[in-house]
Amino acid sequence: MITTFQQHISLKQQEITSEDSAALLKLMSGITLAAKMIEAKIRRASLSGLVGEDGGVNSHGESQQKLDIYANDALIHCLGMHDAAAVLISEENNEPIISDKATETSKYAIFFDPLDGSSNIDVNVNVGTIFSIYRIDQSVEEIVGRLTLHPGICQVAAGYVLYGPSTVLAYTSGNGVHLFTLDPTIGSFVLSGENLKMPNRGRYYSCNEANIDEFPAHYEAYLSRLRTSDPGESYSSRYVGSLVADFHRTLLRGGIFLYPPTTAHPEGKLRLLYEASPLAFIAEQAGGMAINGEQSILRIQPTSVHQRTPLVIGGCSEVELFLVHASQPA
């Protein structure tokens, strides 16, 4: 017998509060519906004119792809259908969006990157959706004034959807990482892996080495160490350029993913709240580690919705070796 995503959450009710469980069912129903809508559009993107840039820019001045806009609209619509969400925070929008259905009992904030790696759509490379859920203790009026931000350790749940040869959803609510695969014959995400564990040591590292001349010296030294280890222990480079795809391989096969600070982006380029923190939550739940180069991603106190950060994430042995290099004098 199969277990669908919604059934799996229901079965795990004893591991989380009943209030969180009921809200998560609503929120995850919205996320999975949006994911299925996005997946369907991606499959037909080149046939329906949804490839290429839209001509606009997002809140960070980055060119928007047509599918960026569709994915963002789909998530806002599907998450806004229920009263569980008080506020929606997207990479594509400057400001948090108060849900139309928000009431005084709406106590959840959802952060999301609607379509990570969307520039790869034109060349038929994997892309993904990342999401993170927090419980908040603010009224709608207080949120309008300023949304109180919490470190990643406070996440209620987080996950990502990877659109590839098959569409998969990885998810945690703080009790292990579980994997679901979209079965198109029944239109549901079905449990395909439970309590995933990231290998302590892998064989691959993932990093955009085209920018290596702009990396801090200890990043360069660390990458050199990975490439020149003893025969049989050296690492191979694997870099897709879609964060979800690179992290998904790291989760299943081990190794390490690095997005270092550069001279052009000394604070890093990935967003803390809707890219780094949800993946860090998943990594740690699977037995891995995630740091900003110095400290745990999950312990960083955010100061702004779109805050950026460097990211080093992967197996414990790889991240601990990185910390050794980081501690050595330049």
Single out the residue of 101, 75, 319 nearest to residue 219, CA to CA.
319
Rounded to whole angstroms, the Cα distance separating 198 from 320 reads 15
Q: Are strands 85-90 and 108-116 parallel, antiparallel or unpaired?
A: parallel
Q: Are strands 63-65 and 53-57 parallel, antiparallel or unpaired?
A: antiparallel
151 CB-side CA count, 13 A: 8
* Structure letter (DSSP) for residue 272: I
Residues 275 and 218 in one domain: yes
Residues 132 and 242 in one domain: no
Supply the CATH number for residue 129's domain. 3.30.540.10
- From 193, 227, 257, the end of a domain falls on 193
Cβ atoms within 10 Å of 12's Cβ, excluding its own:
15
pLDDT at 311 over 90: yes
| Number of domains making up the chain | 2
Question: Could you tell me the pTM of the whole model?
Answer: 0.93
The answer as to whether 239 is a domain residue is yes
Rounded to whole angstroms, the Cα distance separating 46 from 227 reads 38
Tell me the pLDDT tens digit for each residue of 130-183. Answer: 999 999 988 877 887 789 999 999 999 999 999 999 999 999 999 999 999 999
Domain residues for 291?
204-327
The answer as to whether 198 is a domain residue is no
Tell me the pLDDT tens digit for each residue of 180-189. Answer: 999 999 999 9
Tell me the pLDDT tens digit for each residue of 258-282. Answer: 999 999 999 999 999 999 999 999 9
Rounded to whole angstroms, the Cα distance separating 42 from 232 reads 39
Rounded to whole angstroms, the Cα distance separating 63 from 72 reads 14
Alpha helix positions (H), 175-275: 217-227, 243-253
